[in-house]
Amino acid sequence: MATYPPLPSYPGHPPFGPTSSPQRHLKPYLGPHALLSLSWLSQHFLALVLVLVALAFLLAQIPALVDDAKSSLNAACAGVEGAASVAVSLPHYMAGGINELNAKTVNALSEGAGTVLDLMLQALEAIVLYVLAFLPLSSSLSRFRLTLACADTDPLPLSLVHAAS
């Protein structure tokens, strides 16, 4: 390991490094009695005093806060009681409307079934009338066809037969 030469000392300055002088003992500026009398100025003690003051203010407000909580709780209980009474009596009030709605539904269903049956009877009547009207027409058409067919097969008229002979 390399060693370096000592640093030069400048005139008017002590050399670098620690200097110890046995005749120089510093005494504290304040003694123990003075330090104890100033201990209440420490930050920990002041924080403790502030916490105690805040606690005293909170303890003074506790009765008012308890009264406020009681009134709030009573109001909430009254609201819940009103909601529960409405929920309990709701089926009674809804029953009339539900019964009326059920009656309207049954009436509408029966009227609809009656309308369907009426339309079915009208359709059956129209079919029967069509068949009855078509049968005479078809029978007369078939007779007409038969007469035409028979007319084609008839022998020649006698006048033509006599003229040919």
Mean pLDDT of the chain: 78
What kind and span of H or E run contains 49?
helix 43-153
Say which residue, 131 or 24, is predicted with more confidence. 131
> Rounded to two decimals, what is the model's pTM?
0.34
The stretch 66-88 carries a mean pLDDT of 90
Q: Comparing C-alpha atoms, which of 94, 74, 76, 96 is closest to residue 86?
A: 94
Residue 129 in any domain: the answer is no
Residue 95 in any domain: the answer is yes
Residue 150 in any domain: the answer is no
Q: What is the pLDDT of residues 7-41, one digit of tens each?
A: 666 666 555 555 555 566 666 677 777 777 777 77
Residue 26 in any domain: the answer is no
pLDDT at 72: 93
Rounded to 10 degrees, the C-alpha dihedral 49/54/56/61 comes to: 180
Residue 68 in any domain: the answer is yes
Domain ranges, residue 71: 43-118
User: Which tokens is 30 given?
Assistant: 């304040």
pLDDT at 9: 61
Q: What is the pLDDT of residues 89-118, one digit of tens each?
A: 888 777 888 888 999 999 999 999 999 999
Residue 75 has pLDDT above 90, yes or no: yes
